[in-house]
Each structure stands twice: as structure tokens, then as C-alpha cells.
Amino acid sequence: MMARLILGRVMQSVPTLFGVVTLVFLLLHLVPGDPVDALLGETALPADRQALRHEMHLDQPLASQYIHYMRGLVRGDWGTSLVDHRPVLARIRERIGATAQLALVSLILAAGLALLLGYVAARHANRVLDYAAMGVSLCGISIPNFWLGPMLMLLFSLWLGWLPVSGNDQPGSIILPAITLGTALAAMLARLCRSCWLEAMQADSIMTARAMGVSERMIWFKMAARLAAIPVITAFALQLGAVLGGAVITETVFDWPGLGLLTVEAIQRRDYPLVQGCVLVIALWYLLANLLADLLGLLLDPRQRAGGE
């Protein structure tokens, strides 16, 4: 029964992926501008322009271009970059490692900060520490990455000189991008941790444990934490996709050589195949994050399994 539920969740993701691929293809081909002009310039000879247009299949109807693109995806051929004429998958493989490193450090930072703020707020609910922790959380949600990143660079790199300004070739280069990327995630999870912890403390099992003389440390860190973990873990899995999406802005601000920066560069150069490949990877990551959240919910919460049956 569990295998059937998992297979059903996986199959539900297929139409979504197909829709994302189709939408990205249409948006890139319907926006104003000509990639041939971007590559050759307006002074190029008509014969050269026509040859490049034929090579890129731009002289074919939009439906034919779409069929050609989908056939390539099925064969594992994501196309060739229009700028350096290298396979799209090769370009993505070069950059995905840096993005994965940044995402991992950001998630670790976000999880640790969220648990700390959530616990402090829940343990001191409706008191000064609660308001302070939630105030920090509100700031983290409200401040956008494209503002926080330059402010961190200005303070820690230019004024104090403690950390590198950009890139990933120096020790400590990942600290500022990870803080920028992980802050918003930590803020959202901190508020969820607080509410789930407080809700768990009202459970009948917690009341019974208190009446039996179980220590507060055991109640907070073992019993209540176990009850509060299900929604928090599910929400954390859902935010895995947001981390990769947020990396587009963060990597651009810090010139971090990852998939996000590659996406922005490809958009600026109107490199259709590379943009489609980068967006497809990001979409796949979002789908996997949502699928992971669903599977964790099925594994951790018996009520979801009962509902699916």
C-alpha cells in the first residue's frame, strides 16, 4: 500500500514537469528580441544571419521547434550553448557543484538558527525573549536577498575586511552568501517551530507526563519535539526548492559561480538552450523537494497514510 501511494505521488509530478518545460519554451521564444542579433550583432551579413538561424532551427515554425526540443530531452540531449557551442549538460555540471555547496551550508545554517529561535520563543511565550526572537524572524522574512547581500558585503568585506567580497576562491567566501540565502528560510521555519512546539505542549501526553513528574528538559527536547517535528520537517523539505530558486539572486550578488549565476548570464545573452536547461534543473529540484515533503509526510504521519488508503 505504501509503495502504491509513493508511486501515485511520483506520477502526479510528471504533468507538472511537462507543463514547466512547455511554459519555459514558450516564454523564451515569445519574448521580444532576436537571439541572432545578440550573437552576431546588427551589422552581420544576411547570409551569416540566415545560416545561424537555420542552425538554431529558428527558421522553422514554433511547433516544429518545440517538437525538436522535446525529442532532444527524451534522448538526453539538452542542446548546445549558442555562445560557446558546448553541450548544455556539460555547462550545468560545471556549475551545479558550487550551487549544491552553497545550498547545503545555507540549509544547515537555517536549520540551526530556526531551531534556536523557535525554542527560545516557545519556551518564553508571550514574554520579552519571545517578542525578540519573533522580531528577528520578522526581519529575516522582510529583508530581501538583493538588499541583505550588499549590506553584508559593505559591512564585513569593505569596512571590516574580514571576509572576501565575491567569488568562491578564498577561505570564508561561502559565509556571506550562505547567511544571505539562509536567513529568510530560517525566519520562516523559526515561526513554524514556535507554533508547533507550543501546540505540542498542549497535547494530552505532555499533560500526563508533567503530572507523572517527568522533567521539563525531557518534555521539551524529547516528547514535545517529537510531536512538533512532523510539520517542521515537511516544511523544511518544501523549502529545499526555495533555496535553489533564491540562489539565482544570491549567486548574482556575490558572483558565486553556480547554477543561479549561469542562468542569469544565459538570459542576458539570450542563450535559449542553456536557459531552458538551467530552468529545467531548477524545476526538477522544486518537484523533487515537493515529492520529498510528501513522502516524509507519509512516513512520519500515520494519518496521511490512512487518508491515502
Residues 217-255 have pLDDT tens digits of 888 877 888 778 778 887 887 777 778 777 888 888 898
Whether 109 is in a domain gets the answer yes
Q: How far is CA 235 from CA 5, 6, 53, in A?
A: 20, 18, 46
Local confidence band at 70 (pLDDT 50, 70, 90 cut-offs): confident
Nearest to 140 by CA among 194, 181, 176, 102: 181
The predicted structure's pLDDT at residue 92: 92
Residue that is written with C-alpha cell 545554517 in the block = 109
What is the amino acid identity at position 192? L
User: Mean of the per-residue pLDDT values for the chain?
Assistant: 81
249-267 confidence digits (pLDDT tens): 888 889 889 998 998 888 8
Q: Is residue 298 part of a domain?
A: no
Mean pLDDT of 290-298: 74
Look up the domain containing 165 and give its range.
Answer: 100-257
CATH number for the domain spanning 241: value is 1.10.3720.10
Overall number of domains in the chain: 1
Instruction: Report yes or no: 289 and 301 within 8 Å, Cβ to Cβ.
Output: no
Residue 88 within any structural domain of the chain = no
Alpha carbon separation from 169 to 18, 95, 146, 165, 223 (Å, rounded): 38, 14, 22, 11, 44
Does residue 269 fall inside a structural domain? no
Residue at 111 is within a domain: yes
The answer to whether position 270 is within a domain reads: no
Does the residue 239 lie in any domain?
A: yes
67's grid cell:
517538437
Kindly state whether residue 179 falls inside one of the protein's structural domains: yes
Alpha-carbon torsion angle 8, 9, 11, 14, nearest 10? 170
The span from the CA of 68 to the CA of 59, in Å, is 13
257 torsion bin: left (phi>0), alpha (psi -120 to 50), beta (else): beta
Residue recorded with cell 514537469: 17
Beta strands in the chain (DSSP E): none
